[in-house]
A = this chain, B = another copy of it.
């Protein structure tokens, strides 16, 4: 067996390293959300509605980069669990708001996300974390616009 670790063609590739880290963080988050019976995508939808009561389904999709076609079953599932309500606003759009149960679950979900951050980035100070988050946000924002 060779003692030398082989050269790694992916070491300098930010795209690859980003993906590996993102997958590891998501796996930790998915596990943490399991007791709440929420998948990561469902949790983000819940938090988005909590932050924007009355937002429409397609606007949630635009903000979270989830296609309309994929929003439909997501919202239907959350509604079936009594976590959110729909109220027609103009005949084709519906305003989404959380029920009390939905709001409570959203709070739990956010607490879990913060716990996930603490588990995954224990050494990074809060300041550096925020600055890095802003950099990442700027990068994908530019890319999404370029498409």
Residues A93-131 near B (CB distance < 8 A): 110, 113, 116-117, 120-121, 124, 129-130
Main secondary structure of the interface of A (DSSP, over half): helix
Copy tally for this chain in the complex stands at 2
| Interface mask (A26-60 → B, CB under 8 Å = 1, otherwise 0) | 11110000000000000010011011100100000
* With known contacts A17-B136, A133-B17, A65–B11 Cβ distance under 8 A: no
> What's the interface size class on A, roughly?
35 or more
- Is B10 touching A29 in the complex (CB atoms < 8 A)? no
CA distance A7 to B16 in the complex (A): 31
- Is B17 touching A117 in the complex (CB atoms < 8 A)? no
- Is A116 touching B12 in the complex (CB atoms < 8 A)? no
- Is A24 touching B143 in the complex (CB atoms < 8 A)? yes
A69 within 8 A of B: no
Residue of B nearest to A14 (CB): B133
Q: Residues on A close to B: CB < 8 A? A: 6-29, 44, 47-48, 50-52, 55, 65, 110, 113, 116-117, 120-121, 124, 129-130, 132-134, 136-137, 139-140, 143-144, 147
